[in-house]
């Protein structure tokens, strides 16, 4: 069995993390949103963190 050091293990994990990020960006598309949409999502997120509930239709504007 090979002698594995923490440094070797850490370097391997960094490489795996890069590979996962590449795969994630290929599988999950990133959609650009306008400043107004970002502001609205940030507002809703802040309200939810304070305990206010929103329906999915309200969040995604599909009512």
Unique residue bearing structure tokens 């609205």? 40
Assign 17 to helix, strand or coil: helix
Is residue 2's pLDDT more than 80?
no
17-46 residue pLDDT tens = 999 988 888 887 778 889 998 898 898 889
Residue 17: what pLDDT? 92
Is residue 14's pLDDT more than 70?
yes
The radius of gyration of the chain's CA atoms, rounded to the nearest angstrom, is 20
Unique residue bearing structure tokens 């959609």? 31
Q: Give the single-character DSSP code of 31.
A: P
Rounded distance between C-alpha atoms, residue 42 and residue 56, angstroms: 15
Rounded distance between C-alpha atoms, residue 13 and residue 53, angstroms: 39
Q: Calculate what percentage of the chain has a pLDDT beyond 70.
A: 94
């Amino acid at each position: 069995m090979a002698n594995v050091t923490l440094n070797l293990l850490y370097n391997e994990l960094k490489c795996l993390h890069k590979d996962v990020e590449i795969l994630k960006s290929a599988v999950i598309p990133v959609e650009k949103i306008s400043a107004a949409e970002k502001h609205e999502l940030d507002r809703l997120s802040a309200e939810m963190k304070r305990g206010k509930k929103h329906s999915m239709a309200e969040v995604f504007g599909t009512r």
